[in-house]
Amino acid sequence: MSTSGGRYPISRVEDLASQGSVIATLRVSQWLSNHGYDVKLTILEVLGSVGFCGRYIGSCTLMNGATADEYVVTLGGEDWYLKFWVDEVEMSVNVWSCCWDGVVH
C-alpha cells in the first residue's frame, strides 16, 4: 500500500509514466480525443500529478480481475477522475478512466 492509501505506490506510477510505459483503453483515448485533448500528453500530465494534487478515493476490482486505484486529480481548475492499475509483468500503468470528475464516458 502506498502512503496515499492506494494499492500502487505513486512513485512507481510516476516512474512508469515518465518512461512512457502507459496503456490506455480505447474508451479513454476516444473520450480525450473527442474533447480536444492530446491523449498521450493529457494522460501523462494527469498521472504525473497524482502525487502532489491527487486525492485517493478508493479501489475497485476490474472486469479482468485486477485491482485499480481511483483518484481525483485537480489540474488547471478541473477535477479529473483517474482509474488505473499497474501491470508488474508488462511494467506498465493501465489507465481505465481519465476524464472530468462526474462525467460518464
Domain tally, the chain? 1
Is position 105 within any domain? Answer: no
- Which structural domain, as residue segments, surrounds residue 94? 10-100
pLDDT of residue 4: 54
| Contact status, residue 54 vs residue 71, Cβ threshold 8 Å | yes
pLDDT of residue 83: 95
Could you tell me the pTM of the whole model?
0.90
Which CATH number goes with the domain that contains 39?
3.30.2310.40
Other CB atoms within 10 A of residue 74 CB: 14
Q: What is the mean pLDDT of each run of 10 residues along the chain (105 residues)?
A: 71 93 97 97 95 93 89 94 93 96 84
Which residue from 90, 92, 88 is spatially nearest to 22, judged by alpha carbons? 92
